[in-house]
Amino acid sequence: QMVDFAVMEVGMGGRFNATNIVHPMVAVITNVGLDHMDRLGDTTEKIAFEKAGIIKTGVPLVTAVEDEPAWRVILSRCREEGAEAWRVLKGRYGRPGSPSADVQLRYVPSGNTFSIHGADHHISGLRPGLAGSFQIVNAATAVAAIIALKRYEVRISEKAISAGIANAYIPGRLEIIQDRPTVVLDGAHNPDAARALASSIKDLFDHRRLILVVGMLSTHPARPFLEQLAPMASKVIATQSRWHLALPAEKLADEARRFCDDVEVLTPVPSAVSRAVELASEDDLVLVTGSFYTVGEVK
């Protein structure tokens, strides 16, 4: 459609993903977590190796990876390919013993806003439109990628950057679809995302009880995911999407019972959500999560 810039998201991994035929202006690896382990490997180093497959000669690589072993894998690949490594970190100070990036940018949260700083770059007062503290690092990474475009003499104003960060919207990410009771949809589907989601629920929502409606894919480990969220819930309703790789609801329920005493099985997804809303009081929170396929069947 004749766009000025296109952001292409890798489907899984990177090294063998179809998107890797593109030669980008900037490559981005947001973070590395234990996801798609059946295909990418069972350690952050193995997964980082697959993701680092998008790194190309002469193309700046921007990453906010926190895991040190994963960072070392990514940096090593940058060195092999002659790619400039940009790292986005939280706070004002370095990490002792961590190998340095070619360009290091630091973001400093302050309430609902953040600033980003580097040797030649300082932008303050950025306010993400997306809810959740974890969205700050995502927004900071996006800003870093925009700054990296300056290598190509591309100039995007601070005003435009600020507006873009403020107006960003992703359906199915801490999306509120109903009040009294509050019903929230979030497509989190791995342990890192579940941990971030749990933190956001605590920070953003004032509720009496949490009723968790969860449906996952068989390609993602259920137990470490549920470990982050199910202990917060007074009730868990295990469900199952129509996608052919969906984890059977009964198996999901068996894992949920490790962390919550009140677990029910109900399919299809809309019925599970209706049941949760029926059980909830006006000051309760219904959270639907575990997969974008699950979330997609609610709307």
Instruction: Return the pLDDT at 94.
Output: 65
Whole-number pLDDT of residue 91: 86
- Rounded mean pLDDT of 60-68? 95
Q: How confident is the model over 75-127, as pLDDT tens digits?
A: 999 999 999 999 999 987 667 778 888 999 999 998 889 999 988 889 999 99
**Domain ranges, ordered by start, for the chain:** 18-167, 175-296
Name beta bridge partners: 263.
236
Cα 160-166-167 angle, rounded to 5 deg? 90
Q: Write down the mean pLDDT value for the chain.
A: 94
Given a cut of 90, whether residue 270 has pLDDT beyond it is yes
More confident residue, 117 or 36: 117
Query: What distances in angstroms separate CA 282 from CA 238, 269, 271, 298, one per listed residue?
Result: 22, 21, 19, 20
- Looking at the structure, give the CATH architecture of the domain made up of residues 18-167: 3-Layer(aba) Sandwich (3.40)
Straight-line distance from the first to the last Cα atom of the chain, in angstroms, rounded to the nearest whole number: 28
Find tokens 């999560």 and name the residue.
Answer: 289
Q: Which residues contact 50 (CB under 8 A, 6 or more apart)?
A: 13, 14, 15, 16, 40, 41
Strand partners, 246: 217
Query: What is the spatial distance between Cα 129 and Cα 124, in angstroms, rounded to a whole number?
Result: 15
pLDDT, position 35: 82
User: Above 90 in pLDDT, residue 74?
Assistant: yes
Name the amino acid, one letter, at 56. K
Q: What is the pLDDT of residue 131?
A: 84
> Architecture of domain 175-296 in CATH?
Alpha-Beta Complex (3.90)
